[in-house]
Amino acid sequence: MAESGKKIHLRIRRQARPDTQPYWESYEVDSKPLMNVISALQEIQRNPVNTEGKKVLPVVWECNCLEEICGACTMIINGRVSQACSALIDNVGTDLTLEPMSKFPVIRDLMVDRQRMFEAQKEVMAWVEVDGTHALGPGPQSSQDEQEIRYPLSKCMTCGCCCEACPNFVRDGEFLGPFAMNLVRLFNTHPTGRYHWRKRIETVMGRGGIGSCGKSQNCVEVCPKEIPLVDSLAQVNRQAVTHLVTGWILNSRAK
């Protein structure tokens, strides 16, 4: 446990605006028991003075739930993409280097724009269609086995960790990302969501889809929710190949 009275040293990559150059700034804050990285940033926010004794603008970052649920506080901590709320000082150490994710446009300091991920959700139809708002009665039932498969897939919080670690997900690239392939698997196994199975699979058969995955498996190593992303990528790839072959056979017979 970090002892009170000790110092936490933070080296933070800052950027005033999206169109300005980044720079490094260092800070020291007092260590307290059970602190996490967010707590250290909040100490800087209360007294934004760098190690040179200069009063500066407070460091900007994004967070919401502080319980590893919203996914907003993703950043690179000592070279590894992580959730800042669950990164305890006891585990990551008192010498911290904090950087924004590199695969997304920087808004300011440690805050990035993850809009690309939300657009990917739209592309793969990551939702269950509902026919109006009137009473529809009970929905289709799922077996316990199906629920146990879907539950870990549903834990994705769009944090961006898998995208940051993926060598095939690059700035201005086309790959939708590992999380999007996982959502395809999730909603294609949902008893109502599977009605759009064909549309989702045909989407990921196109540019930026499953064919863009290089199978590095970095995504599963950094996922804070331990989602079986590699299994999802394999499942979606299998579905895409099956759909392609089936379509080819049907077209051949039609001729």
DSSP assignments along 157-205, one per residue: ---SHHHHH-TT--TT-----HHHHHHHHHHHSSTTGGGGHHHHHHHHT
| Model confidence at 194: pLDDT above 70 | yes
Residues 101 and 75 sit within 8 Å (Cβ to Cβ) = yes
* Average model confidence (pLDDT) across the chain: 93
SS3 content of the chain, % helix, strand, coil (to 5): 35, 15, 50
Q: What's residue 58's pLDDT?
A: 96
Q: What's residue 248's pLDDT?
A: 67
Q: Does domain 115-130+139-254 have CATH number 3.40.190.120?
A: no
**What is the pairing mode between strands 7-14 and 95-99?**
parallel
For domain 7-112, the CATH architecture is: Roll (3.10)
Q: Using 50, 70 and 90 to split pLDDT, how confident is the model at 254?
A: low
Task: Tell me the mean pLDDT in the region 45-64.
Answer: 97
In percent, the amount of the chain with pLDDT more than 90 equals 84
The residue type found at 119 is E
| pTM for this predicted structure | 0.91
In percent, the amount of the chain with pLDDT more than 70 equals 95
Q: What's residue 137's pLDDT?
A: 79
Q: What's residue 165's pLDDT?
A: 98
Q: What's residue 130's pLDDT?
A: 76
Task: Tell me the mean pLDDT in the region 216-243.
Answer: 96
| Model confidence at 3: pLDDT above 80 | no
Burial 62-88 (b: 16+ CB within 10 A, else e): bbeebebebbbbbbbbeeebbbbbebe
Q: Where are the domains of the chain?
A: 7-112, 115-130+139-254
Q: What is the Cα–Cα distance from 101 to 76, expressed in whole angstroms?
A: 6
Strands (E), the chain: 7-14, 23-30, 74-77, 80-83, 95-99, 106-108, 111-112
Q: Using 50, 70 and 90 to split pLDDT, how confident is the model at 31?
A: very high
Residue with tokens 């863009």: 212
Q: What's residue 210's pLDDT?
A: 97
| Model confidence at 5: pLDDT above 90 | no
Tell which wins on pLDDT, 37 or 191: 37
- Asked, colleague to colleague, whether 7-112 and 115-130+139-254 share their fold, the answer is no
Task: Tell me the mean pLDDT in the region 11-37.
Answer: 97
Q: pLDDT, tens digit, for every residue of 57-115? A: 999 999 999 999 999 999 999 999 999 999 999 999 999 999 999 999 999 999 999 99
Q: What's residue 253's pLDDT?
A: 60
| Model confidence at 2: pLDDT above 60 | no
Token pair in block for residue 231: 């299994």
Q: pLDDT, tens digit, for every residue of 127-178? A: 988 777 778 778 788 889 999 999 999 999 999 999 999 999 999 999 999 9
